[in-house]
Structure 1
Amino acid sequence: MARSATRLAAMTESAPYRVLARKYRPQRFDQLIGQDAMVQTLGNAIRRGRLAHAFLMTGVRGVGKTSTARLIAKALNCIGEDGQGGPTIDPCGVCEPCKAIAEGRHIDVVEMDAASHTGVDDVREIIEAVRYAAVSARYKIYIIDEVHMLSKNAFNALLKTLEEPPAHVKFLFATTEVNKVPITVLSRCQRFDLRRISAELLAQHFAHVVEAEEVAAEPEALALIARAAEGSARDGLSILDQAIAHAGAEASGVSAAQVREMLGLSDRGAVRRLFALLLSGDAPAVLAALAEQHVLGVEPAALFRGLLEAVHGITRAKAGGVPDPAQSVEERQALDAWAGKLGHATLHRLWQLLLKGLSEVETTAMPMEAAEMALLRVVHASSLPDPGELLRRLQSGEPMPALDAAPPVAPAAGGSGPSASVVAVAPAPPVVRAPESFAALVEAVSGRHAHLAQQLHDYASVIRYAPPELELCPRRPIDGHVAKALDDIAPIGWKVVMSDQPGAPTLREQELAAKADEDRAIRESPVVAAVFAAFPGAELIEDDQRSIA
């Protein structure tokens, strides 16, 4: 046993563990995830011999900027397996330059971290070295990571060399904050914006990684890790490495429950149950569900983000958006069901309430208390009708929500005191009234049919407004069934006639005319007229308040 332990220790010392982010760093261009446009551009440039002297890679962390720079270095210096090859978009990976560059030991490929070499003296060393030809490679290549960290003097010292470097020198820059790179440097580089990697592509990549590592993992677990990575392959591989270690020797491998526990995420099923309780207005149950998640270690901010994701998913489903591939079948079915029941106004109100709640939770010293108050605010708001519904009730004479609970009562004739019998007074049948003007009608329509209301506002010239009859002269085609939409607002059996007879100006034309009159009145006022006389080049501009510039 002692001998086995010694052998294991020797193996551990000779082959130290490499984290997944390093082990699965791209070694070929076809291994770069989600950067097809950049690879195509580079490939065409290499094949046609149109190579720039300086490249700038920018993008969020972990999308492959430094890896791309090393791949470009290999592509430019590869000599092929037979030693006779030239620059290629598919470096062989077996020739000495390719292997030396991949291992970071090639004498002609110099990597510099600008975060620790920010001064002009560091750049002066590069300027002095570029005069000499490459020792063994085709090109001498300088890879400067986080180039935005260079000082202003260092950038200025590099400019002339960067603009006219020797033919044997190439510069490769990488940065996460391209806005901090001087425009004089940007104009001398060929820029590539590396895209943030989608969660779907990351989940597929992680599936290949766990397969190569011979580790089992649930697809939902990989989707959670891909979401948490926020477009960064390196961050995702680091989280996956941690998840594999967290799972240990369990036969089931990496599970979604373990990933949620590790990342402090709320179970999406729990989020959906909480969302259902919010819609039902069950305040005690909402507080109990929040407390349960808190005991499980879920941060209130994470819970609010989950609720916001649910509202966003419902709104996308209602708008006919493409489903998120990372969602489970149960989640998609639940979101589709809610999308069929909730209106756009309700969803937008929920989004604003939850977004405000998240802001309060993240900034307060008492996040749990802030979470309870924010959720109770959502509970009470869920029972209120939206503004369009309130307007419809007002116009139709229906009672408001506060009057629905108890009908008014009146004492019986001759009765008094506690023994008097009471009878319920039946509410009078609601009287449906149409809006008094066409403008009021359009305002009412906007609550339920915003697109139609906009067309009526901009294109409809009114010939006759006598509810339930309405005669219009459309300046442009008006979509939809106008009469049906009007009956949704005031069900009085509307009869809408489209005519080619001239009518009154449209509401938009009336507003423009009123604005023109207002501008004319302002210009003709003595004070403003004096200002324009003193300053001939002045203009009347409109802001939150009228001002003269």
Structure 2
Amino acid sequence: MENFVVSARKYRPATFRSVVGQQHVTTTLQNAIVTGHLAQAFLFCGPRGVGKTTCARILAKTINCTNLTPEAEACNECDSCRAFNQNASFNVHELDAASNNSVEDIRSLVEQVRYAPQQGRYKVYIIDEVHMLSNAAFNAFLKTLEEPPGYAIFILATTERHKIIPTILSRCQIFDFNRIKLDDIVGHLGYIAGKEQVTAEDDALHLIAQKADGGLRDALSIFDQMVTFSGHQLSYRAVVQNLHVLDYEYYFRLTEACLTQNLSATLLLLEEVVQNGFDLHQFVIGAAEHLRGLLVCKDPQTVQLLEVSEGLRQRYADQARQAPLSFLVTGLNLLSQCDRDFKAAKNQRLHVELALMKLAYLRNAVQLTQDLVAGAQLASSGNGEAKKKTDAVAPAAPATTPTSNGNSYAANGHAPTPTAREAAAPAYPKAHGVTASAPAAPEPIVPVQSGVVEMHPTPSIETEREETPSTRRQLVDTLPHVETGRPSVAGHEPGSRPLVAAPEPIASAAPSSARPAPKPLAIPKLNLQAVKAQATQRQETAAAVLEEEAAAPVTGTINQAMLQQVWRELAESRKQISMSEFMTLNRPIQADEQHVIRLQLENPVQLDQFNSFKPEFLLALRQRTGYRSLTIQTEVIEQVQTGKRLYTSSDKFEYLAGKFPVLNEMKHRLGLDTDF
């Protein structure tokens, strides 16, 4: 049985020209070979399967070729090229840093660099997955990498550039390999399919290239798997079935059902997706990508962003013409939100169904929103047009004759009877004794027939009396307590009365525009010095009270339970002020027959802290318990070392040998040392 060689190895590029999708790297390397500007170290970075190791091997083969072509390509005919093609070249050394990542491995590599090549000009060292080297190995490699012999060239390849220390990066020429474009992968797969005599559909190759995600090696591996599954007839349906991916047909049907507002078809389509074993999250992501494809097909300039075959691109364009732009943008927003919240949803299928329901009735929602906006715009513009129309159709006033009192009468000497339109028209106030009238219109006047009772009274043109402004009452802050660090309002402090502002006179009421703007409320700042001064003052006051109250005679027996309860309550109240004060007081106490409480403290720091608030605390303790003869005596307890601390290995051995004497005998028999 003939050994099978995978396509990734069988059709591995052997020249710079055959490298797929990395022309920016191959062109730079070819120019460096032609001009002789070869660096001592190269670093090839990029995702998996994009040609890093392949370019490293081609570079190692080309620089040792003795018969280069004018395009700086290896001839494949000289002794060096034939030895390289047969994997028998002594000038090319490949090292896997994932399994040789220690300092000893790098030392061995450095020792090999010392020897010049027997044939050819250069010795090339290709180190794959160089980011797996330890920091010590990197540091041991620095000097050799920076100043190697003139015949040594290092080519480092990695997929994780961020894991390499900066000192290594600064000594290398860095080449970033890109993900291979979809069209380049499809073209290379078509070339290999022709070599292997495989008839492949264009849509099938596009699907394989999309599944590879920019990696040519992954695409070739999937291609071999598909050929093994379907034989020499590679169809789109076979690729979809074998790779278990959602077909484009699902998304076209989904969009069609949503555009026709067919909710039943949408939910049945989701049920079909679930029954076929597809992941709901992948279905949501695919639906969003489908709407994105329809969106880019809206503009001929962005159609090139859709990476599908030509036949499928035409189908996208046909459906994009049926889908409104508002539907696509809002649908993308809904599906993106569904994608973000999918993992957090308890019932994930219901979460997807709700998103599809919104998508199914999205056109109605968009149309309703547009109608509301159009109605609002029409109403706003209609008000202005109606006003203009009312002004235009207002009846022309009859010929009037002004009188001495300023009133106008009709030519017959009688006041004109207002028509229904005039009665409904707004009144115009007088300005400087001249009556303002509505502009005349060419529409004829319809006189009121005799005997007809007027249904609406004539509106008055007198200016209505303004309402008397009500008096306002406000609190005036006249006693700011800056030293306490908090604002106060007059009328709310003990011993003060609320001040009420006098009502403003009506005659002097100024318009609101002329009134001065109210001043912002000034928030007093916290004065730490004032707070500290108050605390000191409280302690001095408590000490003065204790001095005035001489120690009362000791009478009776103290209730120890009640004393301890009051002590705990006072300690809890000090906890809000300082946790260290609470820790100082949080200990069991007991008063003796002389009403003396002996407080034992661990260190002088606690003693100084307790003395700082002792007067206030003792005064509160006396008042709460009712024992005026209580006193507190403090003392610092010296901590006694319980045993010798074991620091050195000898100390530890002596301690264990004291417990287990057999250890001494074992030490002498085996000749052991305690320094381990």
**Which residue in 2 is equivalent to 1:291?**
271
Question: One-letter code of the match for 2:18?
Answer: Q
> Which of 24, 27, 47 is equivalent to 1:60?
47
Using the TM superposition, give the Cα deviation of residue 188 of structure 1 relative to its aligned residue in structure 2, in angstroms.
Answer: 1.0
Indicate yes or no: 2:368 matched with 1:383.
no
Indicate the SS of the match to 1:57: strand
Indicate the SS of the match to 2:302: coil
Greater CA drift, 169-178 or 312-321: 312-321
Task: Answer whether contact 2:65 2:80 (CA < 8 A) is retained.
Answer: yes
**Which residue in 2 is equivalent to 1:203?**
186
> Which of 337, 347, 355 is equivalent to 1:374?
355
**Which residue in 1 is equivalent to 2:316?**
335
Using the TM superposition, give the Cα deviation of residue 96 of structure 1 relative to its aligned residue in structure 2, in angstroms.
Answer: 3.1
CA distance 1:363–1:206, shift in 2 (3 Å) = farther
CA distance 1:141–1:388, shift in 2 (3 Å) = farther
**Which residue in 2 is equivalent to 1:107?**
90
Cα distance in 2 for residues equivalent to 1:361 and 1:260 = 25
Q: Once the two structures are superposed, what CA deviation does each residue of 1:217-236 show, in whole Å capped at 9, x if it has no partner?
A: 11111111111111111000
Task: Answer whether contact 1:78 1:88 (CA < 8 A) is retained.
Answer: no
Aligned pair count reads 392
Question: One-letter code of the match for 1:49?
Answer: G
Indicate the SS of the match to 1:50: coil
Using the TM superposition, give the Cα deviation of residue 200 of structure 1 relative to its aligned residue in structure 2, in angstroms.
Answer: 0.8
CA distance 1:68–1:362, shift in 2 (3 Å) = farther
**Which residue in 2 is equivalent to 1:403?**
none
> Which of 158, 163, 174 is equivalent to 1:180?
163
Task: Answer whether contact 1:78 1:91 (CA < 8 A) is retained.
Answer: yes
> Which of 235, 249, 252 is equivalent to 1:255?
235
Indicate the SS of the match to 1:144: strand
User: How does 1:70-469 map onto structure 2 within 5 Å?
Assistant: 70-80=57-67, 89-248=72-231, 253-319=233-299, 320-323=301-304, 326-329=307-310, 331-361=312-342, 368-385=349-366, 389=370, 392-393=373-374, 395-396=376-377, 432=382
Cα distance in 1 for residues equivalent to 2:87 and 2:344 = 45
Greater CA drift, 46-55 or 117-126: 117-126
CA distance 1:338–1:52, shift in 2 (3 Å) = same
**Which residue in 2 is equivalent to 1:21?**
8
Task: Answer whether contact 1:46 1:87 (CA < 8 A) is retained.
Answer: no
Q: Once the two structures are superposed, what CA deviation does each residue of 1:282-318 show, in whole Å capped at 9, x if it has no partner?
A: 2221111122233334332332233122211122122
Using the TM superposition, give the Cα deviation of residue 58 of structure 1 relative to its aligned residue in structure 2, in angstroms.
Answer: 1.0
Using the TM superposition, give the Cα deviation of residue 254 of structure 1 relative to its aligned residue in structure 2, in angstroms.
Answer: 0.5
**Which residue in 2 is equivalent to 1:454?**
none
Cα distance in 2 for residues equivalent to 1:87 and 1:138 = 19
Cα distance in 2 for residues equivalent to 1:179 and 1:385 = 47
Cα distance in 1 for residues equivalent to 2:205 and 2:338 = 29
Identify unmatched segments of 5+ residues in structure 2: 385-518, 528-676
Using the TM superposition, give the Cα deviation of residue 55 of structure 1 relative to its aligned residue in structure 2, in angstroms.
Answer: 0.8
Task: Answer whether contact 1:220 1:326 (CA < 8 A) is retained.
Answer: no
Using the TM superposition, give the Cα deviation of residue 365 of structure 1 relative to its aligned residue in structure 2, in angstroms.
Answer: 7.5
Using the TM superposition, give the Cα deviation of residue 263 of structure 1 relative to its aligned residue in structure 2, in angstroms.
Answer: 1.3
Indicate yes or no: 2:39 matched with 1:39.
no
CA distance 1:335–1:86, shift in 2 (3 Å) = closer
Task: Answer whether contact 1:108 1:141 (CA < 8 A) is retained.
Answer: yes
Task: Answer whether contact 1:313 1:335 (CA < 8 A) is retained.
Answer: yes
Question: One-letter code of the match for 2:234?
Answer: V
Task: Answer whether contact 1:43 1:88 (CA < 8 A) is retained.
Answer: yes
Using the TM superposition, give the Cα deviation of residue 122 of structure 1 relative to its aligned residue in structure 2, in angstroms.
Answer: 1.3
Q: TM-score, normalised by structure 2?
A: 0.54
Using the TM superposition, give the Cα deviation of residue 38 of structure 1 relative to its aligned residue in structure 2, in angstroms.
Answer: 1.4
Question: One-letter code of the match for 2:78?
Answer: C
Question: One-letter code of the match for 2:294?
Answer: I
Using the TM superposition, give the Cα deviation of residue 49 of structure 1 relative to its aligned residue in structure 2, in angstroms.
Answer: 0.8
Q: Once the two structures are superposed, what CA deviation does each residue of 1:220-262 show, in whole Å capped at 9, x if it has no partner?
A: 111111111111110000000000011036xxx0000011111
Q: Once the two structures are superposed, what CA deviation does each residue of 1:128-163 show, in whole Å capped at 9, x if it has no partner?
A: 221111233321111011111111111111111111
Q: Once the two structures are superposed, what CA deviation does each residue of 1:250-283 show, in whole Å capped at 9, x if it has no partner?
A: xxx0000011111111221221111221233322
CA distance 1:322–1:68, shift in 2 (3 Å) = same
CA distance 1:364–1:28, shift in 2 (3 Å) = farther
Larger radius of gyration: 2
Cα distance in 2 for residues equivalent to 1:344 and 1:265 = 28
CA distance 1:329–1:194, shift in 2 (3 Å) = closer
CA distance 1:431–1:42, shift in 2 (3 Å) = closer
Greater CA drift, 300-309 or 157-166: 300-309
Using the TM superposition, give the Cα deviation of residue 95 of structure 1 relative to its aligned residue in structure 2, in angstroms.
Answer: 2.7
CA distance 1:138–1:363, shift in 2 (3 Å) = farther
Using the TM superposition, give the Cα deviation of residue 395 of structure 1 relative to its aligned residue in structure 2, in angstroms.
Answer: 1.8
Cα distance in 1 for residues equivalent to 2:71 and 2:315 = 51
Cα distance in 2 for residues equivalent to 1:366 and 1:113 = 47
Q: Once the two structures are superposed, what CA deviation does each residue of 1:401-457 show, in whole Å capped at 9, x if it has no partner?
A: xxxxxxxxxxxxxxxxxxxxxxxxxxxxx97468xxxxxxxxxxxxxxxxxxxxxxx
Greater CA drift, 130-139 or 142-151: 130-139
Using the TM superposition, give the Cα deviation of residue 327 of structure 1 relative to its aligned residue in structure 2, in angstroms.
Answer: 2.9
CA distance 1:332–1:108, shift in 2 (3 Å) = closer
Question: One-letter code of the match for 2:160?
Answer: E
Cα distance in 1 for residues equivalent to 2:188 and 2:34 = 29
Indicate yes or no: 2:35 matched with 1:48.
yes
Using the TM superposition, give the Cα deviation of residue 183 of structure 1 relative to its aligned residue in structure 2, in angstroms.
Answer: 1.8
Greater CA drift, 16-25 or 112-121: 112-121
Indicate the SS of the match to 2:9: helix
Identify unmatched segments of 5+ residues in structure 1: 1-11, 399-429, 435-520, 531-549
Q: Once the two structures are superposed, what CA deviation does each residue of 1:507-543 show, in whole Å capped at 9, x if it has no partner?
A: xxxxxxxxxxxxxx99x99999x9xxxxxxxxxxxxx
Cα distance in 1 for residues equivalent to 2:344 and 2:52 = 34
CA distance 1:352–1:190, shift in 2 (3 Å) = same
Q: Once the two structures are superposed, what CA deviation does each residue of 1:364-396 show, in whole Å capped at 9, x if it has no partner?
A: 686545433432343344531289737624523
User: How does 1:504-523 map onto structure 2 within 5 Å?
Assistant: none
Greater CA drift, 158-167 or 311-320: 311-320
Question: One-letter code of the match for 2:230?
Answer: A
Task: Answer whether contact 1:77 1:87 (CA < 8 A) is retained.
Answer: no
Task: Answer whether contact 2:202 2:309 (CA < 8 A) is retained.
Answer: no
Cα distance in 2 for residues equivalent to 1:211 and 1:189 = 40
Task: Answer whether contact 1:70 1:102 (CA < 8 A) is retained.
Answer: no
Cα distance in 1 for residues equivalent to 2:222 and 2:173 = 33
Task: Answer whether contact 1:346 1:386 (CA < 8 A) is retained.
Answer: no
CA distance 1:336–1:78, shift in 2 (3 Å) = same
Indicate the SS of the match to 1:56: strand
Identity level (%): 36
